[in-house]
Amino acid sequence: MEFVVKSGAAEKQKTACLILGVHKKTLPPSATALDSLTEGYLADILKRGDLDFKPGHSLMLLHSRHAPVERLLLLAMGENDKPLTEAGFNKLTVNLASQLKSLNAREASIAIEDINVEGKSLHWITRQLVEAIEYAFYQFSQFKNDTGKGALSKISLKKVTLLADRKNAEEVKAGLAQGQAIGNGRNVARTLGNLPGNICHPTYLADEAKALAKQHAKLTTKVLNEKQMSDLGMSSLLSVSAGSEQEARLICMEFKNGKRGAKPLVLLGKGITFDTGGISLKPGAAMDEMKFDMCGAASVFGVMNAIIELDLPINVIGMVAAAENMPSGKATRPGDIVTSMSGKTIEILNTDAEGRLVLCDALTYAERYKPEAVIDIATLTGACIVALGHHTTGLLSNNEPLAEELISASKEAMDRAWQLPMGEEYTRQLDSNFADMANIGGPAAGTITAACFLAKFAAAYPWAHLDIAGTAWQSGKEKGATGRPVPMLVQYLLNKI
Query: Catalytic site residues?
Result: 282, 356
The total number of residues written for the chain in this structure: 497
The upper half-sphere exposure of residue 481, i.e. CA atoms within 13 Å in the direction of its Cβ, equals: 32
The torsion region of residue 333 among left (phi > 0), alpha (psi -120 to 50) and beta comes to beta
Q: Answer for the pair 110, 163: CB distance below 8 angstroms, yes or no.
A: yes
**275 Cβ contact list (under 8 Å, min separation 6):** 282, 290, 293, 324, 325, 352, 354
CA distance 281 to 379: 17
CA distance 348 to 363: 18
CA distance 445 to 394: 12
Reduce the DSSP state of residue 437 to 3 states and report it: strand
Q: What is the DSSP letter of 390?
A: T
